[in-house]
Amino acid sequence: MFKRITLQYEPFMEYYWKQKGHANPCLFPMIKTGNWVPDELHIMLRITDVLFGCFFYQLMEDINQFKKSTSTLIEQEMHRIGLTHFQFYESKTKS
C-alpha cells in the first residue's frame, strides 16, 4: 500500500561542497542552495536578535549599575513609545 522512499545523502553533500564560499555544512542538505530564497524580514529579525542579545549581555555585566540607572531609563522609554507592558526578566539562577 505504501511505497518506501529512500534518499541518497552523498550526492547532496557532493553538490554542497562544490559551492564557493561555504564554510559550514548546510542545515538542510537535501535542498540545493539554488532552490531557496531567504527573505529580508527574517534576515533582519535574526540580525536584530543577535544585536539585542549582545547589547543586553554587555548591559548586564555590572548588574547593580544596570538596576540603578539603565533599566529605569529603558523602561521609561518603552512606556513613552507606547509599549504598555515591558519588564526585565530576573533569572532565579546565577548564570
pLDDT at 19: 61
Nearest CA among 49, 62, 56 for reference residue 74: 56
pLDDT at 81: 93
- pLDDT per residue rounded down to tens, the chain (95 residues): 566 666 555 555 555 555 666 666 666 767 776 777 778 888 899 899 999 988 888 877 887 887 778 888 888 899 999 988 888 777 777 65
Residue that has been written with the C-alpha cell 519588564 in this structure: 87
pLDDT at 13: 55
Enter the C-alpha cell of residue 79.
Answer: 512606556
pLDDT at 49: 92
pLDDT at 80: 93
What ranges do the domains of the chain cover? 10-80
Residue that has been written with the C-alpha cell 559551492 in this structure: 19
